[in-house]
Amino acid sequence: MPQFRFTYLLCSAVLAAFLAASAAQAHHGWAWATDEEFEITGVIQSVRLGNPHGEVTISVDSEEWVVEVGQPWRNDRVGLSKEMLIQGREITVHGHRSAKEGERLVKAERVVIDGKDYDLYPDRTS
Delineate the domains of the chain, giving CATH numbers in brackets.
Answer: 33-119 (2.40.50.140)
Model confidence at 33, pLDDT cuts 50, 70, 90, reads confident
- Provide the Cα torsion 102, 105, 110, 115; round to 10°: 80
H or E segment to which residue 108 belongs: strand 105-113
Whole-number Å distance between alpha carbons of 103 and 50: 22
pLDDT exceeds cutoff 70 at 11: no
How wide is the angle at C-alpha 58 spanned by C-alphas 53 and 61, nearest 5°? 150
Model confidence at 31, pLDDT cuts 50, 70, 90, reads confident
